[in-house]
Amino acid sequence: MAITYVDALTVAIDALDGEVAEKLTALRAQIAKKRSASSKPTKNQIANEAIKQKILEVLGSVDSPLRASEIQKELDDEYSLPKISALLTQLVNAKVVVRTVEKKVSYFSLV
Lowest mean pLDDT among 3-12, 28-37, 48-57, 98-107: 28-37
Q: Tens digits of per-residue pLDDT, 30-86?
A: 888 776 666 677 889 899 999 999 999 999 998 899 999 999 998 888 889 999 999
pLDDT for residue 1 is more than 70 = no
Q: How confident is the model at residue 10 (pLDDT cuts 50, 70, 90)?
A: confident
- Greatest CA span in the chain, whole angstroms? 69
Number of domains in the chain: 2
Tell me: do 75 and 57 sit in the same domain: yes
Tell me: do 105 and 70 sit in the same domain: yes
Determine the structural domain holding residue 93 and report its residue range.
Answer: 43-110
Show Cβ contacts of residue 54 under 8 Å, excluding neighbours closer than 6 positions.
75
Tell me: do 88 and 74 sit in the same domain: yes
Per the CB < 8 A criterion, the answer to whether 56 and 91 are in contact is yes
